Amino acid sequence: AQSVAQPEDQVNVAEGNPLTVKCTYSVSGNPYLFWYVQYPNRGLQFLLKYITGDNLVKGSYGFEAEFNKSQTSFHLKKPSALVSDSALYFCAVRDDTGFQKLVFGTGTRLLVSP
Amino acid sequence: DAGVIQSPRHEVTEMGQEVTLRCKPISGHDYLFWYRQTMMRGLELLIYFNNNVPIDDSGMPEDRFSAKMPNASFSTLKIQPSEPRDSAVYFCASKGSGATSTDTQYFGPGTRLTVL
């Protein structure tokens, strides 16, 4: 069975500094990896995904993530944080069998201070 | 595209009452997912459909929960009778498949359910 770990409940960063939100996964076979963001009282918004190809994936709002197969990680990054990036971030994984169940991590709250 | 549409956005009911949550997926999407989000358990998949057929309902908590998808543009999640522990935010998501699909689930805004 697949699983996702987001080891940090909260990440604090100053505006303009780079940010990293960590994610590690476990899955049988090849992983399909996703990052979503949730703003207060809103649904989850898709940021980016890795299915195959280049290990560095670029997504919405200047976010990117790097797939590292040996470390089974898919950390979310942004070179320069904005206050408006403050939100709850979820990493998710599914396998490549065609079964569509997406397993989510517990979420990491990102707080960007002015 | 209007995205995934859910109604109602908020529902407050009393214990024992029947609750029906509604979802309209993105047009052309053939997968539909129901999730529940709580502080204690995070985001859980309850059930998902493919071409209106339930594929995996292993996440449905108990027999009080049921879901239907009578056609490609509408799904319901029903709780009967409701209990206070059902209080949560319920999300619907949809996904396309095939060569032109992005293979990504898109979420609706959610229904916040409070059972008193």
The pLDDT tens digits for B3-60 are: 999 999 999 999 999 999 999 999 999 999 999 999 888 999 999 999 999 999 999 9
C-alpha neighbours within 13 Å on the C-beta side of residue B14: 0
State the DSSP code for B100.
T
The partner residue sitting opposite A44, judged by closest CB among B45, B95, B107, is B107
B74 interfacial to chain A (CB closer than 8 Å): no
Mean pLDDT of A80-103: 91
State the DSSP code for A101.
P
DSSP labels, A30-68: S-EEEEEEE-TTS-EEEEEEESSS-SEEE-GGG-EEEEE
Q: Does A96 score more than 70 pLDDT?
A: yes
Q: Determine the Cα–Cα distance for residues B54 and B35; give it in Å rounded to an integer.
A: 14
List the beta bridge partners of residue A93: A33, A103
Q: CA of B64, closest CA in chain A: separation in Å? A: 22
A52 interfacial to chain B (CB closer than 8 Å): no
pLDDT band at A52 (very low <50, low <70, confident <90, very high): confident
The partner residue sitting opposite A107, judged by closest CB among B42, B91, B106, is B42
B86 three-state secondary structure = helix
Q: Does A70 score more than 70 pLDDT?
A: yes
Q: Determine the Cα–Cα distance for residues A36 and B17; give it in Å rounded to an integer.
A: 33
